[in-house]
Structure 1
Amino acid sequence: MASFQKYKTKDSEKWMFKMDVGIDPATGKRKTTTRRGFKTKKEAQLAAAKLYEEINSGTYIKDTDILFKDFAEDWLKMYSETAKISTVRIRKHELKHLLGYFGHLKLKDITRKMYQDMLFDLKKKGYADSTLDGIHTTGKMIFKKAMELELIKSNPTEYTKVPKQKKTIEDIENDKIKFLEKEELAIFLKAAKEHGLYMDYVIFSTLAYSGMRLGELLALQWKDINFKDHTITITKTLYNPKGKEGQYELLTPKTSGSIRTIKMDPNVMTLLKKHIAEQNEIKMRMRDKYHDHDFVFARPSGYPEVMKKVEDRMKRLLKIAKIDKHVTPHSLRHTHTSLLIEAGVGIKEIQQRLGHTDIETTMNIYAHMTKNLEEKASQKFSELMRSFIKNL
């Protein structure tokens, strides 16, 4: 176990501890580690307990000459124990870029300049700002863990600047949150009702009237629908990265705040009742071939619909409706938000309905939407005045 000791610094007193971390494979002798800088003995004891747990679980890495690729592999295993499978998949993809530059280097030999040069080089190769942000996030996590394990003396990701593309006026315009005006939404839903394929009208109506994420919608099961109270309860999200039927997982939602029950419009509940009757007819026709997992928006096979299919169906309907906007199913979530704001719904209520744990997320979207609505109001006023002046 650890031994604790108080020591004096120039300005105050601090605590340190020493701990046996096992046998050094190079010398065959017992090896100890010392950690300093704790404000209280309790702080030192908590750090020692955490280190002791890492040693016992085999996650403590003793070899300070370890290669980046080997440590990154161990880090990914540790990370995978607590992170969602969808997030782990993203980290693996970002890690590939880091391995291309640092894979065969010793972890302790990677400098701040080398790390900064890596980001500059990726930018020169044309990678998007969001891709660079993701790679940098993964890099920071890896080197932070290396610091915690005392494998490196300094963190090469500190003081690093991610190079950003200077935005043009066109870029700023494209950065605006995409959503449908209420008149456009009405035209779109009319097109879905009159020209939609199986499930189109009920899917897009439910998205537009709920503000749900597409993954949340496709994960819905009939047990989540309360026809008596006109509510839908969201407890999960669909994960199907390859977009192949049957190759899906049900994961916990994006955040804890995403678990929620929302009140729905009676007309949407009527559509869902009609949908369940149609689905039951399909089950009867398919009989034993139908994989009944209780999914609301199931394909004729019984498996949940895939995101790509919904996205393609929306493109088709936008073309039919002659709506020349680059919007996606997620844009219906923003459309729902804009209509809530226009209806005078408060920020807290919007946060709960959308399932944002952090009020800042809601505030950012609210600010974007409010700005868009203000611009629209200004534009309408200008058009009114032009028409008025023209008629004088």
Structure 2
Amino acid sequence: MASYYKDTNTKGQTIWYVKYRRADGKPTTKRSFKTKSAAQKWYREYQVSVDHYGKALNTRITFRDVYDKWWSAYEKSVLDTTAHKTKQIFKNHILPALGDYRITDINVSILQRQVNYWSRKLVKNDCQLYTNLVLRRAVQLGYIHVNPMASVIKPKKKARASINNFFNKDEFTDFLEYLKQDYEDSNPRAFMMLWLAAATGMRRGEVLGLEWNCVDLKNRTISIKRSLKRSSHAYIGSPKNRSSVRTIAIDEATTNYLRRWKKQQHDTMKYFNFDTYKIKDQLVFSTYNKNKPLPEPAADKYINQITSEHGMKHVTFHGLRHTHATLLVEGNTNVKAVSERLGHSSMETTLRVYVNNDKRPNHEVADTFGKLMFSKSSQK
């Protein structure tokens, strides 16, 4: 049973409130109804909730509270790297937008507006996916009856213009010249890192996680077995997937540069009391003072300095992998061989993601087909 009372607030306005017992038997009060009928309507709906679901909705629980409960189970079910990326998505995008909302106040309109915003601002739509998982958990815990995300319409993203995150042949030649000019003598570690990425198409994590025991300078091969990973901290772990474990050949110039860098690294590191020749799992690229993995941003920093200094098109460190694949295919290298070199599970991935033709008009193709047309017409 509930009791209804009339009172006056600080502004002199008449308000109604209802006293009742919660589902757990404890007395409580719900205030600030404008009319008695509004208070009665609210209590009837409350009773339906208790009768139908066996418990009342907890209106004090926030989205952040539910997230904390969901996260404690989720982080144990995925890899450390996945957990790290997911936590960043919540920290940077989802919790700032929804974290302080009471879970019962989140409706379709709020979510649709937020999902539309994420769709415009972010490349991937992971925010909607993870928000949905938290709201599903809220339903399971009985905080809400229905997941409002189920009624949100997923925005159709406009097709993005092709991002040319790679160098064409001429640009690549210029880049290598600038790389030698800027880094070969002054920063041999940065030189070797960028040269190796360009010469092999290795992923950034594979380059930063490469150990000397995986480099065979005699037979000119690199065995890719490890990769730099990041969760709450950086560590060396397994590569991206099964097909990423591979052995690739390296050209003679790259082999000679690696041989030179191995000695340069040793000579530098001995001043910090590290004998890199005797360390079994010595990284090819590491910090000098502590001999630890280099932070991932360092790789992009080095290439950004070159492109900015020389007014070149902006290409990321990952763009060197893109460049490697594109130029190999344009040079008529077998796509299957390129795919295996990159560590892809299929040739379709290589063609779809990494291989882009130069966007300049290809007169050779046009001339070849024109000759075909001319030869056919001349026979008549």
TM-score interval w.r.t. the shorter chain? 0.5 to 0.7
> Which residue identity is paired with 1:69?
R
Give the match for residue 206 of structure 2. Answer: 216
5 Å-filtered alignment, 1:90-105, equals: 90-96=85-91, 97-100=93-96, 102-103=98-99
Q: 1:118 aligns with which of 104, 107, 114?
A: 114
Larger Rg: 2
Give the match for residue 227 of structure 1. Answer: 217
Give the match for residue 74 of structure 1. Answer: 69
Shift of 1:142: 2.9
Where structure 1 has 5 or more consecutive residues not aligned to the other structure, the ranges are 1-24, 28-61, 384-392
- Partner secondary structure for residue 69 of structure 1: helix
- Partner secondary structure for residue 157 of structure 1: helix
Encode CA deviations 1:349-373: one digit per residue, 9 max, x unaligned: 333222234655334225x51xx33
Contact 2:307–2:314, Cα closer than 8 Å, also in 1: no
Question: Aligned pair 1:365/2:353, yes or no?
Answer: yes
Deviates most, 66-75 or 107-116: 107-116
> Which residue identity is paired with 2:172?
L
Q: 1:356 aligns with which of 337, 344, 357?
A: 344
Q: Normalised by the size of structure 2, how large is the TM-score?
A: 0.67
> Which residue identity is paired with 2:130?
T
Give the match for residue 39 of structure 2. Answer: none
Distance 1:265 1:289, change over 3 A: closer
Encode CA deviations 1:165-200: one digit per residue, 9 max, x unaligned: 767xxx72xx32321122322222222223312223
Give the match for residue 206 of structure 1. Answer: 196
- Partner secondary structure for residue 280 of structure 1: helix
RMSD: 3.8
Q: 1:184 aligns with which of 155, 158, 171?
A: 171
Q: 2:285 aligns with which of 285, 289, 297?
A: 297
Contact 1:84–1:251, Cα closer than 8 Å, also in 2: no
Contact 2:84–2:231, Cα closer than 8 Å, also in 1: no
Once the two structures are aligned, what percentage of the paired residues are identical? 25
Give the match for residue 158 of structure 1. Answer: 150
Deviates most, 194-203 or 217-226: 194-203
Equivalent-residue separation in structure 1 for 2:221 and 2:56 (angstroms): 56
Shift of 1:327: 0.9
> Which residue identity is paired with 2:306?
L
Question: Aligned pair 1:378/2:378, yes or no?
Answer: no
Encode CA deviations 1:247-273: one digit per residue, 9 max, x unaligned: 632243333332322222232122111
Equivalent-residue separation in structure 1 for 2:139 and 2:335 (angstroms): 40
Contact 1:144–1:155, Cα closer than 8 Å, also in 2: yes
5 Å-filtered alignment, 1:1-392, equals: 26=24, 65=58, 67-96=62-91, 97-100=93-96, 102-103=98-99, 107=103, 110-120=106-116, 128-130=121-123, 133-144=125-136, 154-158=146-150, 160-163=152-155, 172=161, 175-196=162-183, 197-239=187-229, 248-287=234-273, 294-301=282-289, 302-319=291-308, 322=310, 324-357=312-345, 360-365=348-353, 369=356, 372-373=357-358, 375-378=359-362
Shift of 1:300: 2.6
Shift of 1:333: 0.5
> Which residue identity is paired with 1:74?
K
Alignment size in residue pairs = 308
Contact 1:68–1:105, Cα closer than 8 Å, also in 2: yes
Equivalent-residue separation in structure 1 for 2:269 and 2:210 (angstroms): 18
Shift of 1:285: 2.7
Equivalent-residue separation in structure 1 for 2:299 and 2:117 (angstroms): 37
Equivalent-residue separation in structure 2 for 1:149 and 1:222 (angstroms): 51
Encode CA deviations 1:26-75: one digit per residue, 9 max, x unaligned: 59xxxxxxxxxxxxxxxxxxxxxxxxxxxxxxxxxx99756533331122
Contact 1:68–1:104, Cα closer than 8 Å, also in 2: yes
> Which residue identity is paired with 2:360?
K
Distance 1:193 1:118, change over 3 A: closer
Deviates most, 247-256 or 100-109: 100-109
Deviates most, 224-233 or 100-109: 100-109
Distance 1:162 1:330, change over 3 A: same
- Partner secondary structure for residue 269 of structure 2: helix
Equivalent-residue separation in structure 2 for 1:356 and 1:145 (angstroms): 36
- Partner secondary structure for residue 188 of structure 2: coil
Deviates most, 247-256 or 195-204: 247-256
